Amino acid sequence: MKKYCFLILTAFGFWACNKEEGQSGDTVIREVVFEGEREEISAGDSIRFKDFSTGYVNKWKWTFKGGTPSSSVLSSPTVRYDTPGVYEVTLEVMNKFTSKTLTKTEYIKVDYNRVKADFSKKADVYFTNETASFRDTSTGKPTSWEWEFVPVKGGATVRSNLQHPSLVFTDTGYYDVTLTASNPQYSDKVTKTSFIRILDAAAINADFGAVQAATYAGGEVALRDMSVGNVNTWEWNITGPETHTSTAQHPVVKLMLPGRYKVSLKVTNPYNSSVKEKENFLFVAPAADLAAFFSFNGNHADIGPDAIATSTVGGGVSFGEADRWGIAGHTATFNGASGVIAANHAATNFGTGNFTIACWVKTSSAARMMIWQESGKTGTNDNQTWIRIGDNATDRITRFDVEDNTGSTFVNLAAAVGRLSDGAWHQVVCVREGTATTVYIDGTRRGGATANGLKNVSNDQDFKIGFQEGATANSNFYNGNIDDLLIYRRALTPAEVLALFNL
């Protein structure tokens, strides 16, 4: 009896173990079934595969010809196909007892992508007999390339079918570059005009600029060589109230004396030389008690000793026009809806102290416009000082104000002496010395007034250029040019005002 019980228990245990291996006792893989979420894709795309096999499966072995990865042991792998073609997929499913395999031939079709032709260059300018390099940056996996380099003003067209050509040009001038990029299904073409310039190795053309072509006495200017050609030597001459020379490519020069400076650059190579001169290119302002200097040479920065932080309102201040010396980019142009803000600073909080504010203006507008304003945000009887033009068309065509909570003192200039809206450059200088206020135009005193006591003209507010700040809105925006705005914490004498006009 005991022998039979042992056999029964053994058989039951074997059956129970088999039941644990499968589901409800199933240990058979009945059918291998799988699917990809797509069967047609473009090169570079990915597909997720899923196993739907029936029966008991606990291991997978995928093989993907042409795919990345090329194999997987996951139940639902994701595979990328980079190369066009038609590919088979194989899945082997397994458990502890058995395995089955299914291969789907010609299952995944990978097409070519649409091509978008594009390219780049290593440099803008090359010399004859120098190797010029170009790089194909097309998308869509092109397999062939046709390049054409066509001289803009005649000459031999250069061609290449390399993906990233490196070429030598013998004709000088600008070249239009065309690239046609293709694969077996798609093609695209792009042309970039005057894309490169080829120079004669012996040719040379001097030119220069400056990081900032203005400073104050004792300050520095950084000159920048912008010559075109194969330059070997540089000869700089800076002449004016003092003289400087340099053989550096990008010299930094310290200028001690105020005035205008001519800059000359001679560049040479073993074959040629070239000279560029710019009259009145550098401006050095007097430095004594200078509080701020807005030269407007390409930007609205304060280049004075305190470098007061600046910003704009309206976003319409530009710097492309020529100044009174005909130098492009050396003046600010205001569009009638924009202005510059110099952040509140001790240097421009004049209080009851003396001050001078000088600037150059050019406008054809007779509208009511503020040239500059210190404080004054809360309106009448706020501590403030300002100069406005076009207050009316008769006796207040130019108006300078000093003001506090005791009232205002105005210098009003009539049209005969104060008109600025003639489209020409004019220097306007406002001076406060004690209770006396004076306006100079083009170096000449045009009017003055005496206050009934010292006016506290600052109220810990910003200094504005080209507009009037109000409590809730800005107004009286300037339309025209403003240049070389200088702020001094002292009253310049009539002789100093005239000397500043003549700089």
Whether this model's pTM surpasses 0.85: no
pLDDT at 7 over 60: no
- pLDDT, tens digit, 9 for 90 and up, residues 306-324: 999 999 999 889 999 999 9
Is 272 in the same domain as 296? no
DSSP designation for 346:
G
Residue 376's alpha-carbon distances to 94, 341, 347, 402, 463, in angstroms, are 86, 13, 17, 10, 9
46 neighbors 36 (Cβ within 8 angstroms): no
Which pLDDT band holds residue 25 (cuts at 50, 70, 90)? low
Name the domain boundary from 166, 199, 232: 199
What does the chain come to in residues? 503
* Dihedrals phi, psi of 11, to nearest 5 degrees: -65, -40
Rounded CA-CA distance 61/94 in Å is: 8
In a domain, 475, yes or no: yes
- Give me the domain span that covers residue 374: 290-501
What's the pLDDT score for residue 201? 84
Which pLDDT band holds residue 18 (cuts at 50, 70, 90)? very low
CA quadruple 334, 335, 336, 340: dihedral sign: negative
- Longest Cα separation, the chain: 139
In a domain, 1, yes or no: no
- pLDDT, tens digit, 9 for 90 and up, residues 311-360: 999 988 999 999 999 999 999 999 999 999 999 999 999 999 999 999 99
DSSP designation for 343:
P
CATH of the domain at 97: 2.60.40.10
- Helices (H), ranges, 326-483: 415-418
Is 385 in the same domain as 455? yes
Number of domains in the chain: 4
Is 487 in the same domain as 396? yes
Name the domain boundary from 84, 111, 138: 111
Query: 31: closest CA among 93, 104, 108?
Result: 93
In a domain, 6, yes or no: no
In a domain, 185, yes or no: yes
Pair of tokens at residue 476: 């009286």
- pLDDT, tens digit, 9 for 90 and up, residues 175-185: 999 999 999 99
Rounded CA-CA distance 485/503 in Å is: 13
In a domain, 218, yes or no: yes
Name the domain boundary from 285, 305, 330: 285
